[in-house]
Amino acid sequence: MSSVQAFIVQTNLRRALLAFACALGAVGAQAQSAMPQWKGEGAVRYVCGGIGSDESNAMRAAMKEHPLALLFARSDGAYLADVQVDIKGTGGAPSLALRASGPVCLVDLPAGRYTVDAATAGGSVQSQSVTVGGSPKTASFRF
């Protein structure tokens, strides 16, 4: 192989690697943009969503990065949105009230014990106790 041919091969390889790196960056940015906007600030904040496959995939992928995930579904397994959620902390832990605009909510709370009450528009209410701290927790509600 001549030096000109070697130069062309190296240039094409560099271009291919650069294109690949740019594509990876675009995929990562797309996953971030699929997430709905966070609400709240500091140690107490949340995001709810999961409507549409891109948003659902982004929310589920992010579950392991947050202390508490809430999942809402009907008894037949279909996802459920528009759920009123009241998270009550005990022993000085903060409280939070929100309306879940999607079937998945990621909640950032300080470590502590909490009671999560979830109520559908139809009046069904469920309650679960969770301890936040250490590994991420998931509370599933089926109505």
Q: Looking at residue 24, what is its pLDDT?
A: 41
Q: Name the token pair of 100.
A: 């879940």
Asked if pLDDT for residue 25 goes beyond 50, the answer is no
**DSSP assignment, residue 57?**
H
pTM (2 decimals)?
Answer: 0.76
Alpha helices (runs of H) in the chain, residue ranges in sequence order: 3-33, 53-62
Domain 37-142 in CATH 1.10.3720.10: no
Q: Closest Cα to residue 98, out of 59, 40, 138, 58?
A: 40
Residues 74 and 80: beta-carbon distance below 8 Å: yes
- Tell me the pLDDT tens digit for each residue of 98-124: 999 999 999 999 999 999 999 999 999
In angstroms, the CA 6 to CA 10 distance is: 6
Q: Name the token pair of 36.
A: 């709905």
- Domain ranges within the chain, ordered by starting residue: 1-33, 37-142
Q: How many other C-beta atoms can be found within 10 angstroms of the C-beta atom of residue 127?
A: 13
Q: Name the token pair of 95.
A: 């409280």
